[in-house]
Amino acid sequence: MFIQGNVMFEDAEEIKKEGGGESELHFYYNREERLKNAPQIVKDYYDGKMKPVRGIKVLFANKQNRFMLITLVIVIAFAWIYTSLNNSRSGTNINGLLFDTQAFRYEDDIYVNIKLLNKKAVEKSAPVQVFAEVRGINSDGEVSYKEELTLLYDYGEKYLRTKFTDYDIIRVDVTVNAAGFEKELTAFIKH
């Protein structure tokens, strides 16, 4: 009688190999016989003739590595050139005062936020008069909105904010003037 799970099999018979017990599996391994038909690179590896390429030489070791190196250099150069020539800067630094511009659309309005931060400034440092001219640029490249904002910055994190309604505006240009220095900022409208 056999029990499998909760079911009994009374009629089943156990089948055994003839000859009694289990036979052992024998594995024969002959290294010289196996290496006789192996490729030359495998033979060299087992003989210790191959030494791994280390350091910067790995980049020039074979054709594929050289191709990947050249591709990497081209991609990095392209990214560097693109970021240096791209005039849409949303952040800048004037005399240690950091400016960051954001513009986003919410319902029917466009909100513009200019964050000012000076990590080194303390309460006793001289205040700085900040002027910002915000211009909304439409899809034709024309100024469709213009507003001037001012702030007397002393220390900490301060904000210049404005909002306006215009569906055609695709980006916001801001001219920031602080301590006699002037910089241009650009922020594309986020939806």
The pTM (predicted TM-score) of the whole model is 0.53
Lowest mean pLDDT among 61-75, 113-127, 169-183: 113-127
With a cut of 60, say whether residue 86 has pLDDT above it: yes
Residue 14 falls inside a structural domain: no
Q: In the structure encoding, which two tokens stand for residue 71, read together? A: 């591709």
Q: Name the residue range of residue 169's domain.
A: 91-188
Same domain, 81 and 95: no
Domain boundary among 51, 85, 119: 85
Distances from the Cα of 150 to the Cα of 6, 51, 131, 170, angstroms: 85, 68, 5, 24
Residue 113 has pLDDT above 80, yes or no: yes
pLDDT tens-digit series, residues 42-59: 888 888 888 777 888 888
Residue 45, SS3 per DSSP: helix
What integer pLDDT is reported at residue 178 of this predicted model? 83
Tell me which residue of 141, 87, 134, 91 sits closest to 116, measured CA to CA: 91
In this predicted model, what pLDDT tens digit does every residue of 116-163 receive, in sequence order? 887 675 555 568 888 889 998 888 888 888 889 888 887 778 888 888
- Co-location of 101 and 75 in the same domain: no
Same domain, 96 and 179: yes
Task: Give the pLDDT confidence score for residue 2 in this predicted structure.
Answer: 46
38: pLDDT strictly greater than 60 = yes
The string of DSSP letters for 130-143 reads EEEEEEEEETTS-E
- Structure token pair of residue 41: 């690179």
- Given a contact cutoff of 8 angstroms between Cβ atoms, the answer to whether 186 and 176 are in contact is no
Distance separating alpha carbons of residues 74 and 78, to the nearest angstrom: 6
- How many whole angstroms separate alpha carbon 157 and alpha carbon 112? 16
Residues 145-157: tens digit of each pLDDT: 888 988 888 777 8
In a domain, 13, yes or no: no
Same domain for 54 and 98: no
108 and 76 assigned to the same domain: no
Residues 73, 106, single domain; the answer is no
Q: Tell whether 65 and 110 lie within a shared domain.
A: no
